[in-house]
Amino acid sequence: MNTSRLLAYEKLHNIRDLGGMKGASGKRIVSGRLVRCGLLSDLSDNDRKALPLLADTVIDFRTEGERSEKPDAGLLGLKYYHIPILDSLTAGITHEKAADEYAFRRLGEDPVKARQYMCDMYHAFAESDFAASQYARFIRLLLEPHEKAVVWHCTAGKDRAGTGAAIVEELLGVSRADVIEDYLMTNEYLKDDIVFLTGFVKAQAGPENAISDEALKYLFGADRAYIEEYYNTLNIKYGSFEGFVRDGLKLSGEDIKKLRSVYLK
């Protein structure tokens, strides 16, 4: 299985090292250099000590509202960059309290609508010039010198961070099938969180509100339809993923060559 590797932390969820994944020319992504994860606001003391040993840079993909509600834990010695992928509150993707409440009220009773809503959000990711420019900033940061890992995160580490991981893996020559498989591993790594969150939301809503487990699973989890919608929309907007790299991310062949020279061996 050619997927990222879950790292052992106490309260840092869905933290995965891309190292070991097979990329271009049969080479593999270097371990301990490219790491994706979820929220950094509630770390244990051991996590606070361990993360700076792994990384020298943290990139936060969340909105300003999300950061205000749940600021990242102060981590000494780490460079911190705020690169919001979305420029507005987006129910089901961003996790401001108001956005989540809106999503649950509107979609919690209808699995079909919940799944389509998330597909629409991935369509919006791919359509957004702002998101493309922000992911371009992210890749430019990866091209700068780093002594340790670069860690990027959103809230659950599945949508914005997951799409970021897919872009990085594509640029490093990981096969499309393996990129999608790695994206879907979020459901395995977050399964306990998904069970907890669905139970919590239903309890908060009360017995008089018929909130569906299946609908909430679509809102909280990853789905092949979401990432395929992202790719399909890129193909329509840019002609191909390569067109997105060239015209959306503004990366040259030399940029990709450099990225691969740094992160593949």
**Residue-level pLDDT at 205:** 59
Q: For every one of its 265 residues, what pLDDT tens digit does the chain have, with 9 covering 90 and above?
A: 899 999 999 999 899 999 999 999 999 999 999 999 998 988 999 999 999 999 999 999 999 888 888 898 778 789 999 999 987 654 444 444 555 566 667 777 789 999 999 999 999 999 999 999 999 999 999 999 999 999 999 988 999 999 999 999 999 999 999 999 999 999 999 888 777 677 766 666 555 555 678 888 898 899 999 999 999 999 999 999 999 999 999 999 999 999 999 999 9
What pLDDT, on the 0 to 100 scale, is given for residue 92? 44
Beta-strand pair 149-153/55-60: parallel
Q: How far is CA 50 from CA 20, 43, 60, 82, 226, in A?
A: 21, 10, 18, 22, 33
pLDDT at 194: 78
- Is 5-263 a domain of CATH 3.30.70.100? no
Task: State whether residue 123 is helix, strand or coil.
Answer: helix
Helices (H), 27-150: 45-54, 64-69, 97-107, 111-127, 129-143
Question: Model's pTM, two decimal places?
Answer: 0.91
Q: Residue 37, SS3?
A: strand
Vertex 177 angle, CA 19 and 57, to 5°: 30
Query: Would you state the pLDDT for residue 216?
Result: 84
Q: Where are the domains of the chain?
A: 5-263
Confidence (pLDDT) at 8: 94
Q: What is the pLDDT of residue 156?
A: 85
pLDDT for the residue 206: 55
